[in-house]
Structures are given as C-alpha cells and as structure tokens.
Structure 1
Amino acid sequence: MKDNFSGHASDYATYRPTYPQELIKQLADLAPAHDLAWDCATGNGQVAVMLSEYFAEVVATDISEKQLQNAVQQPNITYKVEQAEQSSLTDNSVDLVVVAQAVHWFDFEPFYSEVQRVLRPKGIVALIGYGLIKSTPALNEVIEQLYNNLLGKYWDPERRYIDAAYGTIPFPFRELDIPQFAIHYTWTIEDMLGYLNTWSAAKHFEKEHQQNPVNLIEPKLRAAWGEQERVPVAFDIASRVGKV
C-alpha cells in the first residue's frame, strides 16, 4: 500500500470533502449487526467518526501515523497504525468494512483475504470514493487542464481506478446495489485552492520541478471564478458494496 499523504496530513484533514451522512447510514443499515465497524485506511478519521454514530465500536487503521495524529477522537473509536492487508482484528468479528478513497492503493488479493477473514457471516464490505471535482463550466475547464495536461503524467497508475468510478477494480464479493450519492458544497476560492493542493499528482510535480503546479494555474482559476464569493462544487461518489 502506498502512502502519498503523510507529508500533508493537516491539509488533507482540512480540505478533503466529507461523505454524506445518508451514505454512511445506508451502509450501516446493510450491516448484520452494529457491534464493530472497521474503517480501513481511515486517514484523518473522517469516516470513522461518522460510523461511530451507528456502531458500538469502530476500529480505524492507517499506515500513516501523521494522518492519525490529525484524526478526531471519539470514545468508541480505536485508531491503529496497521497495513490494510494485515490487521489485528479477530476472525469473524466485523459487521462492516469501509474503505474510503483508498482501496486503489491496496494489494487487492491479500486485502480481500483479510476482509474475508474478519467479516462475520453476512458482513458487508464497502469501497467508496469520489471522482474529479465539478463546478461551473469555466472552472471545470481550468480544473481539467490541471488534471489532464499539467499533471497528467504525475498521477500514480492506480488513479485509473478512480477515473473508472471503481468499475474496473476487482471485487470478489456478492455485489449489492445502493443508491447513487454525491457530495455538494459551496466553496470559496481558498477552499478550492486548498483542495487542489492535496492532490497527490500536485505533490509529485512539485517534488520534480520545485514549483507548485496549483500556483501556475491560480490566475486562470481566479479569472474563471469571477466576482462571486462562493461557487457550487460537487463530487460524484463511486461505490462497490458487497456481502461475504
């Protein structure tokens, strides 16, 4: 499993979008019980906190200690520095496994074996993520130029799974249909710039060129933004949900 985010864990916690409560409730409702949920690759604990409202206990794991240092604490959440493919969870103990915006970094076969090991009968596994941000037509054009042109070769190969909305990812479980969800905000330009700076490809570009690529497109972004203080933004959510 790759770790592209420890170096900017604080920004990740501040600027990355939050999943809809309705989505988390949907996943919790599918679980056979509400004793234990595993938020795998929890990052800053965003999903773990949401799961803690529905489950007696949440175990949230990540390989990045820096990410976990920025996680929100709750009495029923236990954070652990662990590999996705090798957890300390006991056999047949977990009602719901959630992986948010991370499964594309995993070694699929050993991770799925681990899921099979820890899930209880009729337990649920949910892979969720979000694609390219969408806003006004003028802003979309600038964002797509950054995404495809300036940063095109700097995205990790695993990004292709996100671009395909997880449709091409291996998924050896009995698949369940759930409604389509999306994330909606109204953002300031500072929110947008902060979010774009969390892109892993932006960090790869900066490491190679000693220059922040978001700064290079900022004038175009501000021109496309216009005079309005806030604009609508949206992220379509990709999901693969299954049962053992």
Structure 2
Amino acid sequence: MKMLRGYLADFVSLLFPELCPACGASLVANEHIICSDCRYNLPYTNFHLQADNIVAQQFYGKINVEAVYALYYFNKGGKVQSLMHHFKYKGIQQIGNLLGNMAGTQLMENHIFNTADLIIPVPLHKSRLKERGYNQSTCFANGLAQKLNAVVEDDNLQRAIATATQTHKSRFARFENMQEVFMVKHPERLVNKHVLLVDDIVTTGSTLEACGIELLKIPGLKLSIATIAYAQ
C-alpha cells in the first residue's frame, strides 16, 4: 500500500508538478517549497556578520537600533522578487515560515539577535489584512521564533491608519506617509524588553523607522530589526 501511494504521488506530480516560486523549476523528491539550487544560490546578504552593514546605516541618527539584518538582496526582476510575489500575493504562506526558519538559523548564532525576548511583525491595517487574509510579516516572524526561542507578539503594535502605497514615493514622502500611523496598545508589556521588529522588504526603512519611533518611547526597550530582503 505504501508503495502504491508513492507511485500515485509520483504520477500526480508528473501531471501537476510543484514549482519553485523563485525560479519556476519543478521540485523533485525531498525538495520543499524552494528548490535546492535556489536555497543555496539566492543572493544572501550575510548582514548578520557585519555590524556596520548598509541597512543598519539607514537608521543612523534616526532611531537607536542594536542590530539590523536582511536575509536576501532584492533586485527588480530577480528570483527574490518572484519569491516575494508568490508569498505576498499568491497566498503561499509557507514561504514566510520557511524563510523565517532559514533566517533564524543564521541569527541564532549572533549574540545580539539571539537575546531577543519578543518578535513583533510590522502590522497591516485591518482592511488590508482582511483583503489579503494574512500578514506576511507575521508568517516570517513565526518562522524566526521557532529558531530564536522568542515569543511572537502580533497584537500590540497596531496600524491605526491605512496608508497609501509606498511604491514610487521618495524617501521623504515615504516617511511623511508613515507619520502617526502606528501605535502601541500595551506598552507595559514591552518595558525593558529586547524587541526584534520584522518586515518583509526594507527599501528606505521609513516604515520600520516609524514603528521604531513608537516602540522606543517605551522605557528600557532595546530594538533590533530583521527583514526577508533589502531592496538595493
């Protein structure tokens, strides 16, 4: 019976092959969500090895951060863009959990990130959440938490205002668009905590900066940032 199920699974995969969301290649036996070639060869940043990396520099003089990280470089038309498109708009939530696990494996060896008490995803407005059905940053956060032994708190930082899309806006316009957008519902739960704030893609950092400004109003809070990708 087990052999028969195996033959049936092979037959179904021939008719309806699972495709890697990054490169479009058919997944073979023992490959899960992302093909082996992409797992090894997507453009990793290795920012966890660089305290003074280019993403961290975006926040200098704006908010006080302990460390900043992105798993991949994001280039228009590249494989990471395809991966993120499937994750955010095709409903493949498992991508976020997998990437969170992969990022967490790197970060658990870092003496700053592995001290995070709480992981807080950048929130979606309730109207956007209803439309999409899930927050991609929460999926990523859940995967990270499994490796970092931290708790995901996704109901405290809230987006009070639905903002217009950030695409094609300048850095100043992006920051202006994010003013007074976020609020912390239960600040007392974050006092003296090391918070890892996570998002999917960082470009100018304006969204993360706006979140950070609110979080850092809380006494004793230390802030680190992790994202799936950095858009160059």
Q: State if a TM-score over 0.5 links the two structures.
A: no
| Larger strand proportion of the pair | 1
